[in-house]
Amino acid sequence: MLRGNVVGLRPMQSKDSWLLHKWFNDQRVLEDLGAEHIWFCVSMDREFQTVDEMLTSRTRRYFIIQLLEGSRDIGLIGLDKIDLRNACAEIQIIIGEVDSWDKGFGSEAIQVLLHHAFVSMNLHRVYLRVAEYNDRAKACYENCGFRLEGRERHDHFHKGAYRDALIMSILKEEFRGRSDA
């Protein structure tokens, strides 16, 4: 387990399909993700298949975010599209337990995963995409040291209109320069 002060990141397991099914079928959780391929009401068979693909992939590494006190699972975080040749990966995170929002758990989980990415995996750049209207997530990412790189115009359809996604990233030397790294 990768440990922070309040949260830990444990490797995802097949049995976690039940958690992901619960979180990705909660409209409150999905509301502002702006994800390209999030489908509401995914079947359990499809969820098990997705988790198996995640667990066997060489370009994906996912963890369950767990509160250290009480060992309660509250979210999912991972590195996707891991490119070892170019030393980069895309970070993805979701806090699936709504009562755990706005408590700093996501920020700490990101810092723990960035430390793993830059120190253990020797990555150079970690990036993400975030919906332009997801102010809570943007503030979290900026607080974690991510910088705006660009915009994908009309990236997805949300609430009756095409909306943009923002691309943000952090480099290894930027992470190292942070006092909370």
- Per domain, the residue ranges of the chain are 2-128
Average model confidence (pLDDT) for the chain? 90
Contact 93/61 with Cβ under 8 angstroms?
no
Question: Given this model, what pLDDT does residue 61 score?
Answer: 96
Pairing of strands 7-11, 61-67: antiparallel
Q: Can you state the percent helix, strand and coil of the chain, rounding each to 5?
A: 35, 35, 30
| Residue 107, token pair as written in the block | 């920020």
Cα→Cα distances 70→21, 49, 97, Å: 22, 29, 15
Q: What is the pLDDT of residues 7-31, one digit of tens each?
A: 999 999 999 999 988 887 777 776 6
Position 49 scores a pLDDT of: 87
Q: Which CATH class is domain 2-128?
A: alpha beta
pLDDT at position 35, please? 54
Neighbours of 74 (CB within 10 A): 23
Residue 38: the pLDDT is: 53
Distance (Å, rounded) from C-alpha 92 to C-alpha 136?
15
d(CA 9, CA 77): 8
Say which residue the tokens 């609430």 belong to: 159
Contacts (Cβ under 8 Å, ≥6 apart) of 62: 11, 12, 54, 55, 76, 77, 78, 79
pLDDT at 26: 73
Helix (H), strand (E) counts: the chain: 6, 8
Please list the ranges in the chain whose pLDDT falls under 70.
30-42, 179-181
H/E segment holding residue 101: none
Spatial CB neighbours of 157, under 8 Å, sequence gap ≥ 6:
163
pLDDT score of 40: 55
